[in-house]
Amino acid sequence: MSITSFFKRQTLADDSVSADGGKKARMEKKERQPVPVTATLKTVQRWEKELNITLGKVVDRGNVCTEIWCECCRTFAVDRTSNFVTGNQRVKKEGVKYHKDSTSHKDTLQIKSASLKRARSEATPFEKSLMKMDEVQMAKMEKLFTTAYYLAINERPFSDFPKLLELQAVNGLSLGETYFTDKAANEFVGQIVLLRRAEELSR
């Protein structure tokens, strides 16, 4: 057998394996795709009342909901990838309840509240607390926010926050000891996201 014919046979074999592999991948992908679940419009409306949530809906001619989403999150959410923003074709009560109780939905409710207050030129509770601070306290808070923001944009864990504050203290910068926790860093970044999103929506 010539070298040329050997490589030709190998190429054909590889193509066959590739074709089989591609077919298998397509079948696996098809199997992984969620099966759509529907519910009647009346049922979905009952869920809205029970769970105190407003849902957007795609309704067919038979008054059956084939797709739902959270109206609040579709309008105000920072994360635009959630299926309760893009549209969920698995119309199930447990899915709606899980979304309503999720951290992302609760954060979005805060963004909505801040956005509406900003549209009415009202200060948020956090902004009101900042207004009560003197210049020294404000200067400290600004540095705390800057440090937390640094962690966020560099994708560092919030557990680094106390260590960075300790380093700044060693360098002679007094920031107090009230906010030396990872939870404080999370709160600072959350407020930054909330205010920025509210500003974008009020433009």
Tokens of 202: 């009020």
Do 142 and 184 fall into the same domain?
Answer: yes
Q: Is the pLDDT of residue 17 over 50?
A: no
Q: How many CB atoms lie within 10 A of CB 165?
A: 23
Name the average pLDDT for the chain. Answer: 80
On the question of pLDDT at 144 being above 50, the answer is yes
Question: CA-CA distance, 99 to 145, in Å (whole number)?
Answer: 29
Say how many C-beta atoms besides its own lie within 10 A of residue 124's C-beta: 18
CA–CA distance, 77 with 35 (Å, rounded to integer): 26
Please give the residue that has the higher pLDDT: either 115 or 159. 159
Statement: residue 202 has pLDDT above 90:
no
**91 domain-assigned:** yes
Average pLDDT over residues 132-146: 80
Indicate whether 105 pLDDT > 70. yes
Higher-pLDDT residue of 13 and 153 is 153
**Range of the structural domain that residue 89 is part of:** 39-101
pLDDT, position 39: 95
> 22-47, pLDDT tens digit by residue?
555 555 555 556 688 999 999 999 99
Domain assignment present for 157? yes
159 part of a folded domain: yes
Helix (H) / strand (E) element for 104: namely helix 103-119
Residue 76 lies in a domain: yes
**Residue 4: its pLDDT value, please?**
47
If one compares 117 and 151, the residue with the highest pLDDT of the two is 151
| Distance separating alpha carbons of residues 84 and 68, to the nearest angstrom | 7
Confidence of residue 86 (pLDDT cuts 50, 70, 90): very high
The reply to whether 78 falls in a domain is yes
CB 197 within 8 A of CB 76: yes
* 3-state class (DSSP) for residue 82: coil
Within a domain: 96: yes
- Locate tokens 């948020």: which residue? 124
Does one domain contain both 61 and 131?
Answer: no
How many distinct structural domains can be found in the chain?
Answer: 2
Cα distance between residue 74 and residue 123, in whole Å = 24
What is the per-residue burial (b if ≥16 Cβ within 10 Å, else e) of 66-87?
A: bbbbbebbbebbeeeebbbbee
139 shares its domain with 92: no
**Is residue 63 included in any domain, yes or no?**
yes
